[in-house]
């Protein structure tokens, strides 16, 4: 079976997010009508894979997320898992060649 997972990784609320604070402090330059109160930067990981069944996919994705994709000392994570016929997005590259 083919699956697509989206794993969301974010800093725990007790951990300071210096990059998020820097971005938030400059949002008014781009969007002056928005009043920012909090901005946190995290990761969103798209992952296509195959597994024998949904239960195996879910169990092993849980292990992968907890031990490999997130630093559980300072980050929390969650995921969405769906069965799919897709095999991924194909070649991912920067269209401007940077």
Give this prediction's pTM: 0.82
Q: Which residues, listed in sequence order, are joined to residue 46 by a DSSP beta bridge? A: 6
Do 33 and 39 touch, CB atoms closer than 8 A?
no
All structural domains of the chain: 2-15+41-83 (3.30.1280.10)
The tens place of each residue's pLDDT in the chain, 98 residues long, gives 999 999 999 999 999 999 999 999 999 999 999 999 999 999 999 999 999 999 999 999 999 999 999 999 999 999 999 999 987 765 555 555 55
CA angle 20, 24, 28 (to 5 degrees): 160
Q: What is the pLDDT of residue 93?
A: 52
Helix (H) / strand (E) containing 77 = strand 75-83
Closest to 39 measured CA to CA, from 58, 63, 51, 23: 23
């Amino acid at each position: 079976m083919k699956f697509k997972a989206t794993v969301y990784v974010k800093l725990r609320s007790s951990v300071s997010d210096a990059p998020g604070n820097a971005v938030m402090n400059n949002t008014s330059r781009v969007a002056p009508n928005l009043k920012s109160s909090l901005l946190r930067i995290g990761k969103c990981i798209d992952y296509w894979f195959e597994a024998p069944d949904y239960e195996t996919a879910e169990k092993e994705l849980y292990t992968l997320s907890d031990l490999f994709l997130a630093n559980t000392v300072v980050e929390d994570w969650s995921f969405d898992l769906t069965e799919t016929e897709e095999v991924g997005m194909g070649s991912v590259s920067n269209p401007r060649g940077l």
